[in-house]
Chains A and B, each alone.
Chain A
């Protein structure tokens, strides 16, 4: 056992140091499901751009039909620091709310369960959600404190509890932020599902997921909800360096969208200058969607035209895309 591997195993059991690195090697990268997945990269250089029309363009490119569906928008609301850009921008959420109403959704709600902070509405206030998103308080559910129901077989657990708002949605839109992450390499549309695990049952942070393994949990959550998910990743201004909280703003000027969240995250990684084939959770999720560039139909902009290398902490420099 190498020192790094032992450290990884030890980390699995300690506070904030999680089982993302397992003794076993990640599985060989599979070809993924049959066919190809469409992922749209749409330029948006500023949050004052017309985000509604850009989202509509991306959703059309991906062929998503939301008519009559109960839609849950799941932003990434983690922490607030005026000096950086931790959360999905309020303008992106407001635009998504309008877009899904325009596309004929039966209802559109917003839900999030931050991993560390208990005062979710205060965080939403700091992040300007309450000021920028119409009727925010009426359509928002704190997923940490929602009523819950058990699901059988999640991540090998006999029972696992999820918020009723999440279980009742027909479509969950992962409104993620394009960020580096000091345990997972990057946090994108798939890891954003950590916020659907209720703190009232699993605590703050949701330590149960750390013991299941970060990568394993990301994959399990997407196995559970991926079939009714769509991703819109806010890369207008992302975060590089010591993400997901203490990094620095990194303008990437894009929204990345798609129904295949594995392909969306693989595309985002390439935009960020990270090799998705080296990312543990994406290798593990390769049966759920496409990681190989050849199996992803890039719509809108090309990766080459928007790629901008995000700074990586030393522990993840080996992930740099050639």
Chain B
């Protein structure tokens, strides 16, 4: 199997599952949607984890609200960007029912607030002190806020998984728009930050982790178009000290078919559950392919 690197991380995930079925950001902490998503994806397909994954899925589904959105944890009352993760997980688990479709409907109805008419007018007259293209529809962290790279990337991953069988035309339109938004928010250094490349005519730098996530959202686009960004991602991966950023970059680069060496067989030595899951996903024998949507050409 995956050797010490992968197996020690998967074993850590199995041992750190909460009694309610979810995972916290750290062991013995309350369950959250985000680390539960990554832990589930990392353990997906492991026969010994099937029961654990079923329990986790039941917990997450109990967090769905009537409008189709999902709460980020049992401690929070309102639905957020994690709804994209719910759609991705449903697709990975082969679930396609009315509740999943409500989530897709919710995502299709969610647009970054900077895309409203007032902002587009202000942008047209150059009244906004950022060089920001507000003509495209992306996704915010929370309804009513502006679009950012990370929630947009996660929603692109989710919608590409359902584009072939539900509201295809609208899903494809939003995917194209979301991809344009991501491309328009690229920093002058070739990567991506949270989603704001310039303020008051000062260029802002990109970050390695958001560069990885942006590329994940752009999977399926012409590789030649992304050659520069992939080169930046490779450089970031070589240079960054951030374990999380390196893991996201590995997932993104592998999803884009970039050759990467297998990580050294270093056993797991952290208490960060999300990091362990994302690292496991980015291993060559990990489940990084679950972020992709093979065959989707929009």
Contact = CB atoms under 8 A, between A and B. Distances in A.
Interface of A: 3, 6-7, 9-11, 13-17, 116-119, 121-122, 125-126, 142, 145-150, 159, 161, 182, 200-205, 207-208, 210-211, 242, 245-246, 313, 315
Given A17-B199, A205-B194, A208-B142, A118 B128 contact: no
A15 B130 contact: yes
Contact of A122 (B148, B199, B241): B241
Given A15-B195, A200-B32, A204-B150, A125 B241 contact: yes
20 contacts: A3-B127, A6-B122, A10-B122, A13-B114, A15-B146, A15-B147, A15-B195, A17-B199, A119-B209, A122-B243, A145-B25, A148-B76, A149-B75, A150-B76, A201-B76, A202-B141, A203-B81, A203-B150, A204-B148, A205-B148
B130 A119 contact: no
A15 B242 contact: no
A145 B141 CA distance: 15
Contact of A203 (B113, B130, B141, B243): B141
Contacts of B200: 182, 242, 313, 315
Nearest to B150: A204
B128 A17 contact: yes
Contacts of A207: 140-142, 145-146, 148
B66 interface: no
Interface string B101-123: 00000000000111010110011
Interface string B72-88: 11011100110000000
Given A14-B130, A161-B76, A202-B141, 12 more contacts: A6-B122, A10-B123, A13-B113, A15-B195, A17-B199, A116-B194, A122-B243, A182-B200, A203-B140, A205-B148, A211-B145, A242-B200
Contacts of A149: 75
A207 B243 CA distance: 25
Given A14-B119, A14-B134, A242 B241 contact: no
B72 A14 contact: no
Contacts of A17: 128-130, 132, 199
B179 interface: no
B52 interface: no
Contacts of B68: none
B4 to A, nearest CB: 22
Contacts of B128: 7, 10-11, 14, 17
A272 B113 CA distance: 36
A126 to B, nearest CB: 7
B119 A13 contact: yes
A interface secondary structure, majority? mixed
A208 B151 CA distance: 14
B219 interface: no
Nearest to A204: B194
A119 B244 contact: yes
Contacts of B73: 147-148, 200
A125 B245 CA distance: 14
Contacts of A242: 200, 202
A159 B185 CA distance: 32
Contacts of A125: 241
Contact of A119 (B80, B112, B150, B245): B245
A13 B32 contact: no
Contacts of B116: 13
Contacts of A3: 127
A200 B196 contact: no
B155 interface: no
B268 interface: no
B241 A126 contact: yes
B207 interface: yes
A201 B151 CA distance: 12
Interface string B197-237: 00110101001010000000000000000000000000000
B5 interface: no
Interface in B168-192: 185
Contacts of B32: 145, 200
A150 B207 contact: no
Nearest to B130: A17
A211 B144 contact: yes
B34 interface: yes
A280 B201 CA distance: 23
A122 B244 contact: yes
B193 interface: yes
B7 interface: no
A150 B74 CA distance: 12
A53 to B, nearest CB: 34
A161 B129 CA distance: 30
A203 B142 contact: yes
B292 interface: no
Contact of B75 (A15, A148, A202, A313): A148
Nearest to B207: A117
Of A17, A126, A205, A208, most B-chain CB atoms within 10 Å: A17
Contacts of A7: 122, 127-129
Interface in B236-283: 241-245, 272, 274
Contact of A15 (B196, B243, B245, B274): B196
Contacts of A313: 200
B77 A16 contact: no
Nearest to B113: A13
